[in-house]
Amino acid sequence: MKGNLVLNLACALFVAVAASTADEVRIPASEPIQELNIGEDTTGEELVYETESDQGSLLQSIQQNSTSTDTPIDENWRDIWTHQPVCTSYLSEFNSLLCVYTNATFSQGRGISIFTTPKIAAEFAALLPFHDDEILQKRGINSAEGSGLWTAKALPGKGIGMVAKRDLQRGELITAYTPYLISHAENVLSVQEREKFLQIALSQLPAASQEHFLDLAKYYYELSVVVQDVVKANTFQMDMGGRMHLLVVPEASRYNHACAPNAQYYIEPGILTHFVHAVRPIAKDEEITITYSTPYHPYSVRQNYLLEAFRFTCTCSRCAKGEDTDQSLVEIHDLQQSLGNWGADSTASVKQAERLVKVYLEEEFDGFLDFAYGHAALTYNSVGSARGTVKYAALAAEAAALKYGPASKDVRTWMDLAERPMEHSSWRRRKNVVVVSDGDGDSD
């Protein structure tokens, strides 16, 4: 019963965030990780890949099992791919096939394998990194491990984690890497069939990349579905051709979870890159974290989700405080609901907006400040205080750039608001609301 209440609260919070702003300004909220359907129909003993020889023979076995079958496919495939595409039979659910596409020389021999439809593969193939060999290098993407900023190392009780090698500032780029494997999310193939194609995808990558991939954490530790096992435990998501794709980016998999992380990630589909930036100052030797769950869920919901989806018990600083931190989530929820009410009965005030920003900062939600700053910008604008709007919209744009990327729609939206507050639909929309002289942005 209590669990239900908590869950309802979490859902309400989520909906409130998604629907809380005026007209075209919609603040998106997303669950980062999608379940991959494996486990039910697999059998086998638990297997742990501990020794190098285990892994060597595993690689061999995968290579032996991955024999290509001939399939009619775009005859120009050699322009982009180093291996002949290997395809499933026709799948009526997709009105298409799914095929494995590999470019083993991609990005100075890092390699990339993609399991998707021929149509979407063509979209991938059109992306710049497949044509301009230097674009990734020029932006510091896929640079040698460590790169002076971070190191992956064993941490007490947490397995491997990422640690800062020097002090980092908010906004600093920490890692930028392309995936080894991209797989169309689907529940059409059987687990065994999917595994067969994903193993082909893996086997066509350079040996070093295969080893790096198989070295990652697993969920089931089942040899017969090892590639899906790694995907399950390490997946990020990206939309391509309107379809969800799962990504494995080994360097990015080394970040451990925190409910109020000191770093944020986003994926820039156009250059197939997973970026991580610091969202607050990180001291030398401090662990660098990202979040695997939404920070807005109450303690028990987060605990259960992380245990279910990733098989670990959350021990981050927020989880260590347990349910004590839930009260601030309720306050955030109430404030966002109030600030998101654009009806005639709205009691939204700049005082509430300033309070929201304060709670976000106190709770160390530095990675999610675009929500708080965005609410503040809209609230100031709604009472006709352009100065407050400009200040907070600029902050929201900066925060959104760390969370969604500088080219994202959100950044553009907040920058537009900062540049032309009076042209936005929220301008003086709550002109009957009394301006509270509180905070430093409302002296208009």
Ligand X SMILES: *[C@@H]1O[C@H](CO)[C@@H](O)[C@H](O)[C@H]1NC(C)=O
Compute the least distance from the CB of residue 443 to ligand X, in Å. Answer: 53
| Contact pattern for ligand X over residues 252 through 271, marking x by CB under 6 A | --------------------
Q: If residue 406 lies in a helix (H) or strand (E), which one and from where to where?
A: none
Residues in a beta bridge with 314 = none
φ, ψ (nearest 5 deg) of residue 289: -130, 155
DSSP 287-352: EEEE-SS-TTS-HHHHHHHHHHHH-----SHHHHTGGGGHHHHHHHHHHHHHHT--STT----HHH
Between 34 and 65, CB nearer to ligand X = 65
The answer to whether the CB of 214 falls within 8 A of the CB of 55 is yes
In the block, tokens 């674009």 appear at 135
| Contact pattern for ligand X over residues 329 through 348, marking x by CB under 6 A | --------------------
317 near ligand X, judged by CB under 6 A: no
Pick from 37, 42, 61, 143: which binds ligand X (CB under 6 A)? 61
Pick from 147, 224, 337, 346: which binds ligand X (CB under 6 A)? 224
Rounded distance between C-alpha atoms, residue 368 and residue 176, angstroms: 20
Between 133 and 145, CB nearer to ligand X = 133
55 near ligand X, judged by CB under 6 A: no
Between 229 and 398, CB nearer to ligand X = 229
Rounded distance between C-alpha atoms, residue 406 and residue 404, angstroms: 7
Compute the least distance from the CB of residue 111 to ligand X, in Å. Answer: 9
133 near ligand X, judged by CB under 6 A: yes
Size of the site for ligand X (CB under 6 A): 14
φ, ψ (nearest 5 deg) of residue 245: -120, 145
Per-residue burial over 93-131, b if 16 or more Cβ lie within 10 Å, else e, is: ebebbbbbbbbbebbeebbbbbbbbbebbeebbebebbe
Compute the least distance from the CB of residue 79 to ligand X, in Å. Answer: 7
Compute the least distance from the CB of residue 134 to ligand X, in Å. Answer: 9
Q: How many CA atoms, within 13 angstroms, populate the side-chain half-sphere of residue 28?
A: 11
Between 195 and 354, CB nearer to ligand X = 195
Between 107 and 349, CB nearer to ligand X = 107
Compute the least distance from the CB of residue 309 to ligand X, in Å. Answer: 25
User: Long-range contacts: 99-103, Cβ < 8 Å, 24+?
Assistant: 99/71, 99/73, 100/197, 100/200, 100/201, 100/204, 101/77, 101/125, 102/201, 102/204, 102/205, 103/130
Pick from 57, 65, 137, 313: which binds ligand X (CB under 6 A)? 65
Compute the least distance from the CB of residue 270 to ligand X, in Å. Answer: 15
The closest of 191, 179, 305, 289 to 235, measured between CA atoms, is 179
Between 105 and 425, CB nearer to ligand X = 105
Compute the least distance from the CB of residue 91 to ligand X, in Å. Answer: 22
Q: How many CA atoms, within 13 angstroms, populate the side-chain half-sphere of residue 256?
A: 25
Compute the least distance from the CB of residue 61 to ligand X, in Å. Answer: 4
Between 103 and 389, CB nearer to ligand X = 103
Between 128 and 244, CB nearer to ligand X = 128
DSSP state of 286: P
Q: Under rule CB under 6 A, which residues in 69-108 are in contact with ligand X?
A: 80-82, 103, 105-107
Between 76 and 432, CB nearer to ligand X = 76
Applying CB under 6 A, the residues found at the interface with ligand X are 61-62, 65, 80-82, 103, 105-107, 130, 133, 223-224
